[in-house]
Amino acid sequence: MEEALIIAAVVVVVGGGGGAGLVALLRSRRSSSPDGAPDAPAGGTGTTVLEPPAAGTATAPATITPPAPVTEPAAPQAPPLERPLPSAGRLARLRGRLARSQSAFGSVLLSLLSGSALDDQAWEDIEDTLITADMGVAPAQQLVEQLRTEVKVTGTRDPAEVKALLRADLLVQLGPDLDRTLHTTRHGNHPAVVLVVGVNGTGKTTAVGRLARALIGDGQTVVLGAADTFRAAAADQLQTWGDRVGAETVRSDREGADPASVAFSAVSEGIERGVDTVIVDTAGRLHTKTGLMDELGKIKRVIEKQVPVDEVLLVLDATTGQNGLRQARVFAEVTDITGIILTKLDGTAKGGIVIAVQRELGVPVKLVGLGEGPDDLAPFDPEVFVDALLGD
């Protein structure tokens, strides 16, 4: 049976130009007895052994009152580890969650197939619908232009053919050939390191926890770094995610501790334990651009004293529209983003944001959040996404 161990107070010094600092770290992990049995109490029998009397006291009165039996405090029982689902096929499984976006894109299809002539006004309405779905003005114009030409050239009004044209054009806008590989595989004899950035409230910590689950579901081993040290609750939240699936969480016991020190320690721990991936959660305060740049820059520099950072994933809330795009721009200016995690796509009719954000940042959406459940984070697949939008 497994029990939780808390190992406290490992002191780590981060040296050099990254800014030295002392951080008392709490590491949580589970351990189990080799035979799966609870550890035996001292003495091995669970009973108290009376010591013989000390020399010179042998003649002491023979009546010895045995002490009351000592009961070992019951060790807290950790719930059994969960076995997360593998990540493959998740988007197809969760496609129903895109229903609100599907109605937006479904109405485009309906307009294309309506009995009336596709005049200028009809094409304008289609363009407006795409813009309302947050696709972005330029991509919406391009798509309409393309479709308009194709419908004219082919002269088709056959529903299946029109749908196929729309599908192909949407796919082009989504960049079917963008490399969406998540670089989370151990390489060069050390773990891959993933830094997760974004504004608080976007679902960042949840995304880190769910990414860890997905990787563990795929058979990897993971260490989490709680470098969002500005909210004590963030470290607790992350540790809860980690504990559920057996990923160790490296955190500070002090609110406001140096995030770079925690990140450094998480990576050290990942190297020491020989895990596949270290995922570092960072603080997402909306503060000055210079402050953000300094903070993320320092975290990255300090990690890279040990190993390279393989992925910098930006978490964006799909429901925040233009505001989200503005945030994305700021993050892209201060750090090299390698991929986007678009959360809360289940709560919006604005699925077109996938296109807009990729266009804005020039980096692919790699993962999408489609609900609040632990396994509701899916690798993004443009074809499955388009099919879901068009109700195929």
d(CA 135, CA 385): 14
Min separation Cβ 235 and ligand GDP, Å: 11
Question: Least distance in Å: CB of 347 to ligand GDP?
Answer: 5
- 173 lies in the binding site for ligand GDP (CB under 6 A): no
Q: Which of 205, 265, 268, 335 binds ligand GDP (CB under 6 A)?
A: 205
Contact status: 200 vs ligand GDP (CB under 6 A): yes
Q: What end-to-end distance do the CA atoms of the chain give, in Å?
A: 47
Cα–Cα dist 6/110, whole Å: 59
Distance CA 121, CA 128 (A): 10
Smallest gap from Cβ 374 to ligand GDP, in A, equals 10
Q: Which of 38, 106, 246, 371 binds ligand GDP (CB under 6 A)?
A: 371
The position carrying tokens 């589970």 is 30
- Under a CB-based contact definition with an 8 Å cutoff, are residues 365 and 382 in contact? no
Q: Does 203 bind ligand GDP (CB under 6 A)?
A: yes
* Near ligand GDP by CB under 6 A: residue from 129, 282, 343, 348: 343
| Geometric angle at alpha carbon 260, from 325 and 81, rounded to 5° | 85
**Identified binder of ligand GDP from the candidate list 202, 220, 252, 348, rule CB under 6 A:** 202
Match 């890279």 to its residue by tokens.
304
Q: Residue 373, interface with ligand GDP (CB under 6 A)?
A: no
DSSP for 221-275 reads -EEEEEE-TT-HHHHHHHHHHHHHHT-EEEEESSTT--HHHHHHHHHHHHHHHT-
* Site membership for ligand GDP, residue 100 (CB under 6 A): no
Token look-up 């002392």 returns 22
Report, in Å, the least distance between residue 308 CB and ligand GDP.
25
Nearer to ligand GDP, 102 or 268 (CB): 102
Please choose, out of 20-28, 29-37, 167-175, 201-209, the segment that lies near ligand GDP by the rule CB under 6 A.
201-209
Question: Which residues does 206 contact at the CB level (< 8 Å), separation at least 6?
Answer: 237, 241, 343, 369, 372
Residue whose CB is less far from ligand GDP, 246 or 347: 347
**From 109-117, 187-195, 306-314, 366-374, span contacting ligand GDP (CB under 6 A):** 366-374
Residue nearest to ligand GDP (CB): 369
Question: How many Cα atoms are found within 13 Å in the side-chain-facing hemisphere of 22?
Answer: 4
Which residues contact ligand GDP (rule: CB under 6 A)?
A: 200-206, 284, 343-344, 346-347, 369-372, 376
